[in-house]
C-alpha cells in the first residue's frame, strides 16, 4: 500500500507547458482518475510518476520518499498501456510470468502465481495460448495480469479501455474495479471519458491545459463544480446570471432562494441547476420561472428538452411520454436544494 504525492509537478516540452505545478495526494489503496480533454497533460503526468519521464521541476513522492533519483524499474509502479504490448510470440503464461522471471523466481512459484493471476482476470487455463491468438479484450486482461503479478506499489493505467467495444468496456471496468479493491492497490488511470472516471474512481483529478482544475469525489463534480467550465465538462450548461445577496439571488426572472452551502461571496454569480434536476410543469411556488421550448427529442427512457430561459439555452429532462411542442411555454421549478452558484466567467 503506497501513498502517492505530486508536489508542484511541472513538465515543459520546449515552449509547451504540458503539466503546470500540479499538487495532489493519492491515499494508499485509492483509485484516482486523471480526466481531461486530449492534450491536457494526463499521460505526461502518468509518465512522470512511473519515471519514464523526468519533471522539469517538482517532485513525485511514494510514502513520503522522493522518487526523482529512483529509476523506473526500481519504483515498482507498473503501467498498462492503451495498446496491449504483449510479447506476441510468447505464450500467455510466459507473458504473465515475465516480471517474476526477470526477478529470478523459482519456476514452480512462477507457475502457481501465473495460474492465480489468470483466475483473477477470469481467463483460467489460458497459459499455453499464444498472445497473438487472443482477442483485444483478452489481451488487455493478460496485460493487467502481467502488471499485477509483481504486486506493484502503484498501478498506472493509460486509457486501458480505449480500444475495446462498448460491452467489453463495461465488463473490463467492473473487472478492474473489483481487482483493484480486492488487492487494495493504489491506482491511477487516465481517461477523457467522464462517465468512465466517475464509475471507476474514488476521486477524480480534472485537468485543462496542464492545470489541475478540481480534485474531488465524482459526486462533487456533479453537485459542486468549481467553475462553469468544469460544469460544462460534466454536461451541464444551464446558466443564468444573477447577483447574490445572502440566501437569495436576484435574476432578471425574479428572486431565487438558494441553499446556505454554495460557497460564493455576495455579488455577481452564475446560477445553475443540472438538467436532470430541473422540474417541469411546476408553477406557483417560489423558484419557478417561465421557459420556452426550443426543441424536444424522444430518447427512449425520457424526453430531452432544449429550453430558452431568459435568452439562455437550458437543458431539462421530461418523462418519455412528455407532450410538448417547440414554441410552447413551460413553467420550470429550480429546487432550492439543487441550485448551485458559480463565479461569473
Ligand atoms: P491524450 O488524451 O490525447 O493522450 P494527454 O492529456 O495525455 O492527451 P499529453 O500526452 O500528456 O496529453 O500531452 C500534453 C501536451 O504535451 C500536449 O500539448 C502534447 O503535444 C505535449 N507533449 C507530450 N509529449 C511530448 C513530447 N515528447 N514532445 C513534445 N511535446 C509533447
Q: Using one digit for the tens of pLDDT, what is the confidence trace for 288-333?
A: 999 999 999 999 999 999 999 999 999 999 999 998 999 999 999 9
207 lines ligand 1 (CB under 6 A): no
pLDDT tens digit sequence for 105-159: 999 999 999 999 999 888 999 999 998 888 888 888 899 899 999 899 999 999 8
- Whether 42 has a pLDDT exceeding 70, the answer reads yes
> Ligand 1, residues 12, 15, 18: which to mutate, most atoms within 8 A of Cβ?
18
Closest CA to 193 of 86, 35, 50, 318: 35
- Whether 89 has a pLDDT exceeding 90, the answer reads no
- Report the 10 Å Cβ neighbour count for 72: 15
Mean pLDDT to the nearest integer, 217-244: 95
13 lines ligand 1 (CB under 6 A): yes
- Please, are residues 42 and 190 in contact by the beta-carbon 8 Å criterion? yes
Cell of 334: 429550480
- Whether 166 has a pLDDT exceeding 90, the answer reads no
Distance 39 CA to ligand 1 centre (A): 5
- Tell me how far apart the alpha carbons of residues 180 and 18 are, in angstroms, rounded to a whole number: 29
Long-range contacts of 193-202 (CB under 8 A, 24+ apart): 193/35, 194/35, 194/221, 194/233, 194/234, 194/235, 196/33, 196/161, 196/169, 197/33, 197/35, 199/173, 200/31, 200/33, 200/173, 200/176, 201/31, 201/32, 201/33, 202/30, 202/31, 202/32
Mean pLDDT to the nearest integer, 205-234: 96
- Whether 91 has a pLDDT exceeding 70, the answer reads yes
The CA-atom distances, in angstroms, between 242 and each of 14, 226, 235 are 43, 17, 21
- Whether 77 has a pLDDT exceeding 70, the answer reads yes
Measured over the CA atoms of residue 193, residue 122, residue 127 and residue 136, the dihedral's sign is negative
pTM, rounded to two decimals? 0.89
16 lines ligand 1 (CB under 6 A): yes
Closest CA to 275 of 254, 296, 246, 251: 296
- Tell me how far apart the alpha carbons of residues 170 and 94 are, in angstroms, rounded to a whole number: 28
Cell of 71: 529509476
Phi-psi group of 119: left, alpha or beta (phi > 0 → left; psi -120 to 50 → alpha; rest → beta): alpha
Residue of the CA atom closest to atom 3 of ligand 1: 38
Closest ligand 1 atom to residue 53 Cα is 27
- Tell me how far apart the alpha carbons of residues 217 and 219 are, in angstroms, rounded to a whole number: 5
Residue of the CA atom closest to atom 18 of ligand 1: 39
pLDDT tens digit sequence for 305-314: 999 999 999 9
- Tell me how far apart the alpha carbons of residues 54 and 280 are, in angstroms, rounded to a whole number: 53
Cα-flanking dihedrals φ and ψ of residue 272, to 5°? -135, 150
- Whether 71 has a pLDDT exceeding 90, the answer reads yes
Measured over the CA atoms of residue 196, residue 263, residue 276 and residue 293, the dihedral's sign is negative
For the sheet with 57-62, list strands across it.
16-26, 4-13, 57-62, 65-66
What's the pLDDT at 134?
Answer: 87
Closest ligand 1 atom to residue 36 Cα is 6
38 lines ligand 1 (CB under 6 A): yes
Closest ligand 1 atom to residue 40 Cα is 6
225 lines ligand 1 (CB under 6 A): no
Q: Which domains are seen in the chain, by residue range?
A: 4-228 (3.40.50.300), 236-343 (2.40.50.140)
Mean pLDDT across the chain, nearest whole number?
A: 92
Residue of the CA atom closest to atom 24 of ligand 1: 44
- Whether 31 has a pLDDT exceeding 80, the answer reads yes
Say how many CA atoms lie within 13 Å of 96 toward its Cβ. Answer: 34
Closest ligand 1 atom to residue 207 Cα is 6
43 lines ligand 1 (CB under 6 A): yes
Phi-psi group of 235: left, alpha or beta (phi > 0 → left; psi -120 to 50 → alpha; rest → beta): left
- Whether 84 has a pLDDT exceeding 70, the answer reads no
87 lines ligand 1 (CB under 6 A): no
- Whether 285 has a pLDDT exceeding 80, the answer reads no
Per the listing, cell 492503451 goes with 82
What's the pLDDT at 135?
Answer: 84
Amino acid at each position: 500500500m503506497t501513498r502517492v504525492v505530486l508536489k508542484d509537478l511541472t513538465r515543459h516540452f520546449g515552449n509547451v507547458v504540458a503539466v503546470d505545478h500540479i499538487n495532489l495526494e493519492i491515499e494508499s489503496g485509492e483509485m484516482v482518475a486523471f480526466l481531461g480533454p486530449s492534450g491536457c497533460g494526463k499521460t505526461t503526468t502518468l509518465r512522470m510518476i512511473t519515471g519514464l519521464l523526468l519533471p522539469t521541476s517538482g517532485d513525485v513522492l511514494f510514502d513520503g520518499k522522493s522518487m526523482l533519483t529512483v529509476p523506473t524499474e526500481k519504483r515498482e509502479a507498473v503501467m498498462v498501456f492503451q495498446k496491449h504490448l504483449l510479447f506476441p510470440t510468447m505464450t500467455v503464461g510466459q507473458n504473465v510470468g515475465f516480471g517474476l522471471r526477470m526477478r529470478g523466481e523459482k519456476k514452480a512459484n512462477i507457475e502457481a502465481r501465473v495460474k492465480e493471476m489468470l483466475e483473477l482476470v477470469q481467463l483460467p487455463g489460458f497459459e499455453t495460448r499464444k498472445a497473438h491468438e487472443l482477442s483485444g479484450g483478452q489481451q488487455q486482461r493478460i496485460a493487467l495480469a502481467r502488471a499485477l503479478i509483481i504486486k506493484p506499489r502503484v498501478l498506472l493505467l493509460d486509457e486501458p479501455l480505449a480500444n475495446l467495444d462498448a460491452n467489453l468496456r463495461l465488463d473490463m471496468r467492473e473487472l478492474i474495479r473489483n481487482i483493484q479493491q480486492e488487492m487494495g492497490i493504489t491506482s491511477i488511470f487516465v481517461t477523457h471519458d467522464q462517465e468512465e472516471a466517475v464509475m471507476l474512481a474514488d476521486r477524480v483529478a480534472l485537468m485543462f491545459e496542464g492545470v489541475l482544475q478540481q480534485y474531488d469525489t465524482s459526486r462533487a463534480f456533479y453537485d459542486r463544480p468549481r467553475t462553469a467550465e468544469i460544469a460544462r465538462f460534466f454536461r451541464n450548461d444551464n446558466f443564468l446570471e444573477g447577483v447574490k445577496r445572502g440566501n437569495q439571488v436576484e435574476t432578471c426572472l425574479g428572486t431565487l432562494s438558494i441553499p446556505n452551502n454554495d460557497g460564493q461571496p455576495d455579488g455577481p454569480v452564475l446560477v445553475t441547476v443540472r438538467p436532470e434536476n430541473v422540474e417541469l410543469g411546476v408553477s406557483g411556488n417560489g423558484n419557478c420561472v417561465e421557459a420556452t421550448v426550443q426543441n424536444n427529442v424522444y430518447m427512449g427512457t425520457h424526453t430531452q428538452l432544449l429550453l430558452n430561459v431568459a435568452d439562455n439555452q437550458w437543458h431539462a429532462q421530461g418523462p418519455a411520454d412528455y407532450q410538448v411542442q417547440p414554441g410552447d411555454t413551460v413553467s420550470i421549478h429550480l429546487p432550492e436544494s439543487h441550485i448551485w452558484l458559480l463565479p461569473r466567467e
